[in-house]
Amino acid sequence: MKPTRFARFLIALVAVAAATVIGTGPALADGAVVAPDGTLYEVFPARHGDYANLPDGSNEAEMPILALRVTPSGEPPVVEIVDGTVDFNHEGSVSIEFEETTGTLFVAYTKARGLMADMHVAIRRDAAWSGHDILSNRGIYLSINPKVVVTRQQYVDFDAEGLPVTKTRSIFSLIWWEESGPSQARYSPIFVEDGELRVDAVQAWNLNELAGAAGYTDPTGLPVSAFSYPAVQADPTANGGVLVTFANLATRQQQVLRITFPDDLTKLAPQGATKVPEEAWARAHVPIGRSAGSGRIPLNMNTLSEVEATISQKGVTTFHWVEGSTMQFVRSDDGEEAQARQLALRSDFSAEKATRLVKALAEKN
């Protein structure tokens, strides 16, 4: 690893550590979701001793964990420990989603391991937890800033009699930034099919390669925050697809992809088949990426704050974040010398209200 890359690696690690310290409030920035029945799910950092019967002051009691607060509508909350977080490694940024047909809660988080951090998911269904590690690229790596969204896709399968039948599956789309040999955004879909979580089919994809524009990734002259915040959102024009935006350091551009999946599995099966074979199911889980736009990597976005992004149907990305008492935002189609727009926050104009306005503006352009 070159000195400049290693230095940037350490800067990103410090940023993750700072975010962990800052995020000691009730819930992490992206760590809350409401289910259709009104149940509120919140993930937050805690001590193991806060929610387990352990001797005060013991090493086990001081162990950092992630906790889940479940508050059913009109009822008192119950707190659980997020699967896979009971160890002495610090968990970082969190993103969660809820899949309503199966009642599945999906928690994506990063876990520090010395100078490295990797990507993990914890899945809660019927009050039971299961966990899964996401394979990182080889070498030294640092996974940060996960985002997850769930979509529904109609697809064609064979029924028990070998006839075509239309079904619906849920797709958890997870995106994050990974500092490694090729520093780039990565994407991993997890499927819920016929009521079953297909954790056996989890695979991570390099978005530069999915965009057909891989190569040496050069961050020279870019602030870490300018390229390390990929984002994902549902694509209303696609059948269960998503829009992703990410900095491609090989092309030095902000890229937007539409990601979809095959929706007629009978066409993937051999001619005359009455059941979709496993190899065809594997092909049905391979993402199809199509370019939806490109623009400038935001050089004018140099911040230690948490950054969010909204993607328009025209493929323009709007980044926004809170800096002090202002909401700031930039766009991927800004000119080279453009400065971040600023909205002054007041007691009657909160960051939440400013975020709603900026997102509404971003969706129009």
Domains of the chain: 3-297 (2.120.10), 308-365 (no CATH)
Bridge partners, residue 81, by sequence? 67
Q: What are phi and psi of 20, to 5 degrees?
A: -65, -40
Please give the structure tokens belonging to residue 356. Answer: 């709603």
* Residues shown for the chain: 365
Please write the tens of the pLDDT for every residue from 237-285.
999 999 999 999 999 999 999 999 999 999 999 998 999 998 899 899 9
SS3 at position 302: coil
Residue % of the chain over a pLDDT of 70? 88
Angle (nearest 5°) at CA 351 between 121 and 321: 60
Q: Which of 120-129, 136-145, 155-164 has the lowest mean pLDDT?
A: 136-145
The single residue listed with the structure tokens 């993103």 is 95
Please write the tens of the pLDDT for every residue from 57-87.
888 998 999 999 999 999 999 999 999 899 8
Give the C-alpha separation, 186 to 210, whole Å.
9
Give the C-alpha separation, 121 to 209, whole Å.
23
Please write the tens of the pLDDT for every residue from 34-63.
999 999 999 999 999 988 888 888 889 989
Quick check: 202 and 195 in contact, CB under 8 A? no
In sequence order, what E strands does 32-88 have? 32-34, 40-47, 64-71, 78-81
Quick check: 234 and 97 in contact, CB under 8 A? no
25 has pLDDT over 50: no
CA dist 24 → 126, 325, 352 (Å):
28, 20, 19
CB burial readout 34-60, b (16+ within 10 A) else e: ebeeebebbbbbbebbeeeebeeeeee
Nearest 10 degrees: Cα torsion 124, 129, 135, 141: 90
26 has pLDDT over 50: no
Can you give the pTM of this predicted structure?
A: 0.86
pLDDT (0 to 100) of residue 20: 40
Please write the tens of the pLDDT for every residue from 325-348.
999 999 999 988 899 999 999 999
Instruction: Quickly state the pLDDT bin for 219 (edges 50, 70, 90).
Output: confident
